[in-house]
Amino acid sequence: MLKERRAEYEAQRSQMNAEYAEHMRQAWTEYKPSPPKPVPARKEPPKPIVKISEEQTPENAPVVKPVAEPKTPQEDVAKATVPEEMELPFDNVLEPEESTQPAAPVIPLPEAEPAAASVLGHTFSYYGVQCKIAGMNSTHRFSLNGVKENEVADAWEELSGEKYLPILSQCDNYRKELNLCDWGMVRFLQEMTTSFFSVQESNEAVLMQIYMLAQLGYKVRMARTDNRLVLLLPIEDEVFNYPYLPVDGIHYYVIDKYKGAHSYYVYDKVFPEEMALSLHMPSPPLLQNVNARTVERTLTSKKQVTVSIKSNLDIIDFYNDYPISSQWRYYSITSLSEAAKQEIYPILQQQTEGLDKLQAANVLLNFVQTAFEYKTDDEQFGYERPLFGDETLYYPYCDCEDRSILFSIFIRDLLGLDVVLLNYPNHLATAVKFEQDVYGDHIILDGEKYVLCDPTYIGAKVGNAMPNCRNEAAIVQRISKE
């Protein structure tokens, strides 16, 4: 049965790659790159605001009046439902996209045959995890004499040979075993190929990356410039700090350490059933190993909730390489690593045991407000940079975006409540849909009440919007749907 599946797959795959390579011999199209977009600066206050006024209670809460609801999630909304004298307008609602990470290659790969433990192969490190591609040896190395159309097409035909199938199958297995998102798979193939060819970003390594990504179902393109092959990635969302080529209205980001080329010649043929890359990452990659490098840190809130946590530096390195996106929700979608959850969640669950959802949310809100020291990104890094949850637990400082992202993760993971991000011009906060009626500042989405929770408004409980944001418009970014 395995041989029959492999023969069927090989016949289909060979035809696809033969047509792709033949078209590759035609002249590639020249494109001029657009310069990389810098991360937009956000003018945040040098210090967080501390609440000193009286808390809202059912007795003193303002009367809430309803207003028109949005017709569709993408339409502009003039005002949300909020306490009458504390209007909190917001602009529009951004829905999360479905993950576009291919669930399987273009054509399902045959299962790799079990290999004996003694079989030699290529071993390399992927963020601290030792990976081995069994059977990958010198016979899999090829040479490019140049990067003109025919030379690249000849190499593509060689890569399409049956001997590369076991490598492809093992890469796909690692994708599942390490829980790799789209970008994680790109980085995996970069590490595998550059170490295999022993030259950083050699043309052979880049071509193998492009070939493997295409076979695994990803939408990629290749280009050449200054006698170099370059990987182009059409990432769905806006990405900063990477130059890009506008091809058919799509931004193809240039993944190349040499970012100063004046023009690129692009091979832009569509590979069958390709899917665009997404920065969507529901959970971090599984980078646990016995020799993992860790750094320990103790966090204590003003309500004496103390947590000691060891940060895995391999995870931190992975996030350092992750593209910076304009979509804050992607950072909230990504939960904490399993190691971080095992250390911090039992303590937080103990502190909220026996409390209702509102009381528990106030405990979590106070923890994020007071256990972390505030600094703007410019002060800490010298540029704007949102942090994933694990990064906020690691770095000594965090700002409003980082706090809101971490708080939203806690709310979803520990309380199971829906939460959205409120993106103001110079601030980020959250709003939570509680199962009980909660007084305070809130917005209405799809007829449901979301109550303001601001992790940077120190001492403020659930239902208190930061005063300088009450008359500011905010974009609502959904994190998840029920």
Average pLDDT over residues 322-349: 93
| DSSP one-letter string for 191-236 | HHHHHHHTSTT-HHHHHHHHHHHHHTTB--EEEEETTEEEEEE-BS
CB atoms within 10 A of CB 274: 18
Average pLDDT over residues 454-480: 91
- Decide if pLDDT at 130 tops 70: yes
* Mean of all residue pLDDT scores within the chain: 85
Tokens of residue 106, six digits? 């273009």
Average pLDDT over residues 159-176: 94
Q: Which of 389, 448, 460, 392 is nearest to 420 (CA)?
A: 448
Name, of 63-77, 259-273, 436-450, the range with top average pLDDT: 436-450
Tens digit of each residue's pLDDT (9 = 90 or more) over 414-458: 999 999 999 988 899 999 999 999 999 999 998 999 999 999 999
Q: What percent of the chain has pLDDT over 70?
A: 83
Angle between helices 165-177 and 182-197 (to 10 degrees): 130
- Rounded to an integer, what distance in angstroms lies between the CA atom of residue 430 and that of residue 451? 8
Strands (DSSP E) contained in 248-364 are 250-255, 264-267, 294-300, 306-312
pLDDT-based confidence at residue 91 (cuts at 50, 70, 90): low
More confident site: 93 or 180? 180
| Residue 449: partners with Cβ closer than 8 Å, 6 or more residues away | 81, 433, 434, 437, 438, 442, 443
Tokens of residue 228, six digits? 């170099």
Please give the DSSP secondary-structure letter assigned to residue 54: P
Beta pairing, strands 228-233 & 418-424: unpaired
Asked if residue 392 lies in contact with residue 405, where contact means CB atoms within 8 angstroms, the answer is yes
Helix (H) or strand (E) holding 449: strand 448-453
∠ CA 215-219-222, rounded to 5°: 85
More confident site: 101 or 181? 181
Domains and CATH numbers, the chain: 2-31+101-267 (no CATH), 90-96+283-478 (3.10.620)
Residues in the chain: 482
Average pLDDT over residues 89-106: 53
| DSSP one-letter string for 347-390 | HHHHHHTT--HHHHHHHHHHHHHHSSEE--HHHHTSS-----HH
Cα 313 to chain centroid, rounded:
18
| Residue 236: partners with Cβ closer than 8 Å, 6 or more residues away | 97, 100, 276, 277, 278, 279
pLDDT-based confidence at residue 324 (cuts at 50, 70, 90): very high
User: Can you name the residues that pair with 228 across neighbouring β-strands?
Assistant: 225
- Rounded to an integer, what distance in angstroms lies between the CA atom of residue 327 and that of residue 237? 7
Q: What is the pLDDT of residue 51?
A: 82
- Decide if pLDDT at 237 tops 60: yes
More confident site: 110 or 175? 175
Burial of 174-185, coded b for 16+ CB within 10 Å and e otherwise, reads bbeebebbbbbb
Average pLDDT over residues 227-256: 90
Using a 10 angstrom Cβ sphere, with 0-12 exposed, 13-18 middle and 19 or more buried, the burial of residue 79 is middle
Question: For the chain, what is the radius of gyration of the CA atoms?
Answer: 25
- Rounded to an integer, what distance in angstroms lies between the CA atom of residue 424 and that of residue 473? 6
Q: What is the pLDDT of residue 248?
A: 82
Q: Which of 439, 442, 454 is nearest to 407 (CA)?
A: 454
Tokens of residue 130, six digits? 């030792």
Q: What is the pLDDT of residue 400?
A: 94
pLDDT-based confidence at residue 327 (cuts at 50, 70, 90): confident
Average pLDDT over residues 331-345: 94
Asked if residue 366 lies in contact with residue 301, where contact means CB atoms within 8 angstroms, the answer is yes
Q: What percent of the chain has pLDDT over 90?
A: 64
Say how many Å lie between the first and final Cα of the chain, rounded. 42
pLDDT-based confidence at residue 2 (cuts at 50, 70, 90): low
- Rounded to an integer, what distance in angstroms lies between the CA atom of residue 389 and that of residue 404? 10
Average pLDDT over residues 215-219: 94
Asked if residue 352 lies in contact with residue 414, where contact means CB atoms within 8 angstroms, the answer is yes
- Rounded to an integer, what distance in angstroms lies between the CA atom of residue 255 and that of residue 189? 13
More confident site: 89 or 397? 397
- Rounded to an integer, what distance in angstroms lies between the CA atom of residue 233 and that of residue 253? 5
Tens digit of each residue's pLDDT (9 = 90 or more) over 25-60: 999 999 999 998 888 877 777 678 888 754 444 434
